[in-house]
Structure 1
Amino acid sequence: MKSSVVFFCVVAALLLLGAPTAVDAAMCDPSELTPCAAAILNSSPPSSLCCSRLKSQAPCFCQYQKNPSLSKYISGGRKVAAACGVPIPSC
């Protein structure tokens, strides 16, 4: 159960950021954002690994944002993205 919460937190971070609409679905993997879970859930500073993963998954953010199960993590994810210097596109 705890791992699913972490997974959803990571995905939420992606939802917050938005991205280009033409994204290769094969490279979009919300589980890549697992290192950001603590930062999203606990409002702690994101790790360098978290920031790196956010940047690599940025093209998927709009796709993630459309997933209703991730919407509850959006506010925390926006803060983490801002802390990492990852731009949040509008979708």
Structure 2
Amino acid sequence: MTVPDEVRAVVHGHVQGVGFRWATRGRLAELGLDGSATNRTDGTVEVVATGAGADLARLVSWLRGGGTPGRVTRVDVVPRA
């Protein structure tokens, strides 16, 4: 059995109250990833996802690519150690 990869991303910008979490959860499902998108008290959104490495890379590209609701200014990605 293959252990899935995991990525945690903290998304900065105007990403709360604009449908960002909803859209991210939809993208997770489209890519066949398990995960969540959660508002943080500092105004960022934390995205945690597990699955195949190539699909995680697609997710990160999507988060950074500008096709998301709101306005993303920075995405900090921390792969599982």
Do both share a fold (TM > 0.5)? no
Tell me which protein shows more helix as a share of its residues. 1
Bigger share in strand: 2
- The bucket for the TM-score relative to the shorter chain is 0.3 to 0.5
Larger CA Rg, structure 1 vs 2: 2
Q: TM-score, normalised by structure 2?
A: 0.33
TM-score, normalisation: structure 1: 0.31
